[in-house]
Amino acid sequence: MRNQKQIRLSIQIFALATISLVGYQNCAPGALNSKGSASSSSTSASFADCGTSVCEVPDATTIAVADSQNVLTSMLNKAGVTNPSTKTTSAFAAQGTKLPETGNVAQITAPMWMAIATISSEVCNDLITQETATGATRRIFNSVDFTKGPSSFTDMARNDVIRRMARSFWGRNESAQELVLIKSSLDSSWSGTTATDTRKEMIYLCTAMMSSTDAQKY
């Protein structure tokens, strides 16, 4: 049963990652590079102008994925992870060969996207570890109580986490359709009752959003 669960989650993560595939058609021909090379610019840009609608974040952050070399750097910057774990760097070393040297749309394959999901999951695990150690200064999970089970995670708190991830990982608010799909995926995937289950649910949510195409081209 455990293996079936893992396979199911992998399939759902991959399916969610294709939500914004059409976004590549808006990039320069054959590339994902829409905002230049990945940098260490701050990801805490103001979102005051976004309101409740879907919008682009003012171009105060220059993070993008143009080739395989800066995939991990971009993910860490978007998540705000300052000290990646050995597991994360090892995952990138192991999976990096599956990533294309450029962002050519013709090079998008299932193995490539599963590699991105694998690296994303480790970055997300680092993000949770970092934020649970900082208490009130959390950027993403400030509305999540990691000492309690998923039942304590209210719908309002869930919306807040999704919104924060969308703005940090995608540079915009999530659309109504994306919100429904993400929450539906969570509802169908998790039924645990322990604090460990809460952490796993947040890793799943973060991985799905971090490995989406909009996150990779932002």
User: CB–CB of 175/183 below 8 Å?
Assistant: no
Res 61: pLDDT? 45
What percent of the chain has a predicted confidence (pLDDT) above 90? 36
* Count of the separate structural domains present in the chain: 1
| Confidence category of residue 60, pLDDT binned at 50, 70, 90 | very low
Tell me: pLDDT of 53 over 60: no
Tell me: pLDDT of 106 over 50: yes
Each residue of 39-49: pLDDT tens digit? 333 333 344 44
**Helix or strand (DSSP H, E) at 113:** helix 110-132
Strand partners, 56: 172
Q: CA-based Rg of the chain, rounded to a whole angstrom?
A: 16
Q: What is the pTM of this model?
A: 0.73
* Residue 17: Cβ within 10 Å count: 24
List of residues 6+ apart from 110 with CB closer than 8 A: 14
Q: What would the mean pLDDT of 197-209 be, rounded to a whole number?
A: 91
Helix (H, G, I), strand (E, B) or coil at 56: strand
Comparing 117 with 24, the larger pLDDT belongs to 117
Tell me: pLDDT of 147 over 70: yes
Mean pLDDT, the chain, integer: 73
DSSP state of 22: G
Q: What would the mean pLDDT of 105-125 be, rounded to a whole number?
A: 82
CA–CA dist 47, 217 (Å, integer): 19
Comparing 12 with 38, the larger pLDDT belongs to 12
User: CB–CB of 157/144 below 8 Å?
Assistant: yes
Provide the residue range defining the domain that includes 167. 2-217
Tell me: pLDDT of 12 over 60: no
Tell me: pLDDT of 110 over 70: yes
Tell me: pLDDT of 137 over 80: no
Tell me: pLDDT of 140 over 90: yes
* Residue 147: Cβ within 10 Å count: 9
